[in-house]
A = this chain, B = another copy of it.
């Protein structure tokens, strides 16, 4: 009973789940999330419709799995950029560019998956803790970048809110502590780091989201230039070197 995890049954099951997700991603890329249909996935795999329900409880369940994977993938892309930045001993400003560039590159390479995680949920939607944590894993590497900066006077209102948030939410404090180990040294560090992370999140969502959604088609600029411009503003505000 302990070995169920490794049993042939379990292995086969996991492989089938994976194949289903692959097929789903293909349909997603080809026709968008609206066209993703369990029935069509089954047909494409040579199965009958209801068979898929052995692996995913519902269409919603499959989408959740795809969303989780997408977050993990995005986080991996950013994490790899961190390693790259470390290797090159980049300063905060260059590091910001490297991390954000990796995020954008991932999003542009797989726009449908990006839209999946930044898309519009149903009205009464609240992100499950699970998803919230994954999102924080993506943005975490940005925290130390801004912890090294000095937020300008123009964003003092945001910094104040971040400070209160950090003080009142243990999960957030733990998140910051995880990525900025020496944050406790100076009580202003966490607020600065959070303010930067939230700002860069909004910046990224702005330029990358528009680009992934195809809104720049036929326009006279590249998403990269726009993002670079935005990051420049942000880096200046934090006086990053």
Contact = CB atoms under 8 A, between A and B. Distances in A.
B120 A213 contact: yes
Nearest to A194: B220
A174 to B, nearest CB: 14
- Which DSSP category, helix, strand, loop or mixed, fits chain A's interface? helix
B229 A158 contact: yes
A30 B123 contact: yes
B165 A226 contact: no
Interface in A108-153: 111-112, 115, 118-123, 125-127, 132
Interface string A210-237: 1011110111111001101110111011
Interface string A139-183: 000000000000000110110011011101100100000000000
A126 B203 contact: no
B205 A236 contact: no
Interface residues of A, number: 64
Given A165-B220, A205-B205, 19 more contacts: A31-B123, A32-B121, A32-B122, A120-B120, A120-B212, A132-B218, A155-B233, A158-B229, A162-B220, A168-B220, A169-B220, A195-B229, A198-B226, A199-B230, A201-B206, A202-B203, A202-B210, A203-B203, A206-B206
Interface of A: 29-35, 111-112, 115, 118-123, 125-127, 132, 154-155, 157-158, 161-162, 164-166, 168-169, 172, 195, 198-199, 201-207, 209-210, 212-215, 217-222, 225-226, 228-230, 232-234, 236-237
